Homo-oligomer: A and B are copies of this chain.
Amino acid sequence: MATPTAEREKANVWFTDHHTENLTLSFRVKGFLWSEKSKYQRIDVLDTYEYGRILVLDGLIQLTERDEFIYHEMLVHPAMMTHPRPRSVLIVGGGDGGAAREVLKHPTVRKVVQAELDERVVEVSKRFFPQLAASYSDPRHELVIADGYEFMGQTEERFDVVIVDSTDPVGEARKLFTGDFYSKVKGVLAQGGIAVAQAETPFLYPQVTKGLYDVFKSVFGHVKLYLAFTPTYQSGMWGFVMGSDSPLEVDRDLLEERYAERELRGSLKFYNPGVHLGLAELPNFLRDLVSR
């Protein structure tokens, strides 16, 4: 609890994230590390006592040093591990570099193309989140500063996995939650390719998660919703949707085999084959939601 002692020892300065209009999560702040207005958004980097450095876009928390590993590992590895041999990967968004970092842990990967709209997020991440942005110096990584939606209509390349690491569905990001967008995603998938996207919190906004799930259902033959823990995102329960025209079922032995072959255990703090299968076991209220 905040005691008078704490207040004497630490600055009484707080960053407040509005989870909803009626719920906020606040972080005690050590200091401002960076602030700017890019062409697209306000970018702040703060140092906090509980969660280390945090990245804030337009006043909303995007990531914290301490918990980003869960979100990024669970966004990336279920799709990468479901694919028998992912060689080429497209990331839409994900300017902080965290998704690319996880993709590049798979030795099967020859090329990662990333379409990020705001170059300034990339530059700020390189400076303040080097453990995420290290991926940008990997020779297999190609950064394209572009609108992901438009990029999808122009590229001639085909990808084994497409990862959509978007912000919340407001403003520019709204079009990344549409059937029109996922038809384009399907168009750039190679044979047997898999698409995955973050699907917001099914606990607080079930209609948003269900909306994206239904979009996937309308585009892909096989769709799977799974969960992850997100300590600093709304409700701490996050959804992800995977889609493909090939089956997404993969048994434990096969996952364990790939996990060993790709030598992932040493570099992952959250994901393993058990968690992959376990977090796809949906609680009753979500089974009901997606079967409706």
Contacts and interface: CB of A to CB of B under 8 A. Distances in A.
Interface of A: 1-3, 6, 10, 14, 16, 18, 20-28, 48-51, 59, 67, 70, 203-204, 227, 229-231, 235-237, 265, 268-272, 274-275, 277-285, 287
9 contacts: A1-B21, A6-B21, A10-B21, A22-B28, A22-B49, A236-B236, A270-B283, A272-B284, A274-B281
In the A-B complex, the 5 residue pairs with the closest CB atoms = A236-B236, A278-B278, A278-B281, A274-B281, A22-B49
B285 A269 contact: yes
A23 B26 contact: yes
Given A3-B21, A18-B1, A280 B278 contact: yes
- Counted per complex, copies of this chain come to 2
B275 A283 contact: yes
Contacts of A280: 278
Contacts of A237: 229, 231, 236
A156 B26 CA distance: 48
Given A70-B283, A229-B237, A271-B284, 14 more contacts: A1-B59, A10-B22, A22-B48, A23-B51, A50-B204, A265-B284, A269-B284, A270-B285, A272-B283, A274-B281, A275-B282, A278-B279, A278-B280, A278-B281
A157 to B, nearest CB: 33
A22 B27 contact: yes
Nearest to A70: B283
Contacts of A270: 283-285
Contacts of A3: 21
Contact of A282 (B231, B274, B282, B287): B274
A196 to B, nearest CB: 18
Contacts of A203: 67, 229, 231
